[in-house]
């Protein structure tokens, strides 16, 4: 069951209080989808910056069926595809935002790179997979391929920043190869569904 409208509006106001680039419509989609995931299935997010999308996912999960959110980001010093600088200060802000918004207990923060985490993941129980890490082609593709065996049947797979050429290339290849089916694009977010293996 999706989040009631009045609660969702309140949740989106909370998401808006967290620094980041996720639009309100994109946050709404993440929250609504997170609310449909039923444990023991879970939600995995690759890349979190200061936690805007993490808060959206966690609030959706809390208002829905209570799935755990695993948010993966090493927060090592990094220069993004458009020249932005990221690092340990972002991790400090992430923890502060998770605490301030009241979702900290719903989120497992994993401060490692996503490929390493996927290698140690033993179950195919990821029902919602949100990819928003390094936007270079090799990295986006590596994130998806590492997690693909851990995705549950029919998993929802979302890629942020589809306006980046390398992210678009990855999504196009996965759709053309029939690995994913595009459900919808909202803003710069591509919402796909995993096809049969």
β-pairing, 69-72 vs 107-110, is: parallel
CATH topology of domain 5-194: Rossmann fold (3.40.50)
pLDDT at 197: 66
pLDDT at 2: 42
Q: What is the pLDDT along the chain (197 residues), one digit of tens a residue?
A: 344 554 778 999 999 999 999 999 999 999 999 999 999 999 999 999 999 999 999 999 999 999 999 999 998 876 666 666 676 788 999 999 999 999 999 999 999 999 999 999 999 999 999 999 999 999 999 999 999 999 999 999 999 999 999 999 999 999 999 999 999 999 999 999 998 76
DSSP category for residue 103: -
Q: pTM of the full predicted structure? A: 0.93
Yes or no: say if 79 and 73 are a contact pair by the CB < 8 Å rule: no
Task: Measure the CA angle with vertex 163, ends 145 and 194; round to 5°.
Answer: 35
b (16+ CB within 10 A) / e for 158-192: bbbbbebebbbebbeebeeeebbeeeeebbbbbbb
Dihedral angle computed from the Cα positions of residues 102, 105, 111 and 113, in that order, rounded to the nearest 10 degrees:
-100
Instruction: Return the domain boundaries, the chain.
Output: 5-194
pLDDT at 3: 42
DSSP category for residue 4: P
């Amino acid at each position: 069951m999706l989040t009631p409208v009045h609660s969702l509006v309140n949740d989106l106001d909370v998401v808006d209080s967290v620094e980041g680039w996720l639009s309100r419509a994109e946050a709404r989609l993440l929250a609504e989808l997170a609310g449909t995931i039923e444990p023991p299935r879970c939600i995995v997010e690759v890349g979190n910056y200061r936690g805007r999308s993490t808060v959206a996912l966690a609030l959706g999960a809390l208002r829905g069926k209570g799935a755990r959110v695993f948010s993966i980001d090493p927060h090592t010093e990094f220069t993004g595809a458009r020249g932005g600088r990221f690092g340990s200060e972002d991790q400090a802000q992430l923890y502060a935002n998770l605490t301030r918004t009241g979702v900290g207990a719903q989120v497992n923060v994993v401060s490692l790179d996503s490929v390493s985490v996927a290698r140690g993941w033993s179950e195919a129980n990821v029902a919602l997979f949100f990819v928003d890490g390094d936007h270079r082609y090799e990295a986006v593709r590596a994130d998806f391929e590492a997690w693909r065996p851990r995705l549950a049947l029919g998993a929802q797979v979302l890629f942020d920043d589809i306006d980046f050429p390398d992210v678009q290339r990855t999504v196009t290849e996965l759709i053309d190869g029939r690995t994913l089916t595009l459900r919808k694009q909202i803003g710069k977010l591509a919402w796909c569904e995993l096809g049969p293996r």
